[in-house]
Amino acid sequence: MGENPAAGETSGLSVNRTRYAAILLGAALAGLGGAVLTVVQLRMFREGIMGGRGWIAVALVIFARWQPSRALFGALLFGLADSVQYRIQALSQIGRGSGAIPYEFLLMLPYVLTLVVLWFRTGRGAAPEVLGRPYTKGES
């Protein structure tokens, strides 16, 4: 319902129903993302398969400052950092045989980018004021 749930209620929408639908949709999309990662991309499941990607998602919310367009840009940025480290690993293996850069350093690339984003975005932008507060009908 955003910044002003009373406005949603005034327009005839159920605030609680909309909030529950958003939570269920978000959980379903998170589950679908995990299924795609294990079934389509890796074709296996093992413990620790997410590898800290949840913290990158939290950093993405901070980076986006609760704005969907920035969240899209940030998701592309973090995804690019993740895919670039795989590309660099492959190229360094082909060019030098044993690899010029240890793969452990390349695996750190998305997480280092996450720390840099958190470093520069800390304290800027605030979550919606009504986030996490229950809404009572008729309350403004």
Helix extents (H) in 1-140: 5-10, 15-35, 53-64, 68-96, 103-107, 109-121
User: For 1-60, what is each residue's pLDDT tens digit?
Assistant: 778 888 888 888 898 899 999 999 999 998 898 888 788 877 777 777 777 778 888 888
Q: CA 27, 1, 74, 86: dihedral to nearest 10 degrees?
A: 10
**pTM exceeds cut of 0.75:** no
Residues 6+ apart with CB under 8 A from 93: 99
Spatial separation of the C-alpha atoms in residues 25 and 18, rounded to whole Å: 10
Spatial separation of the C-alpha atoms in residues 135 and 140, rounded to whole Å: 9
What does the domain layout of the chain look like in residue ranges? Answer: 1-46, 51-127
Name the token pair of 104: 């452990």
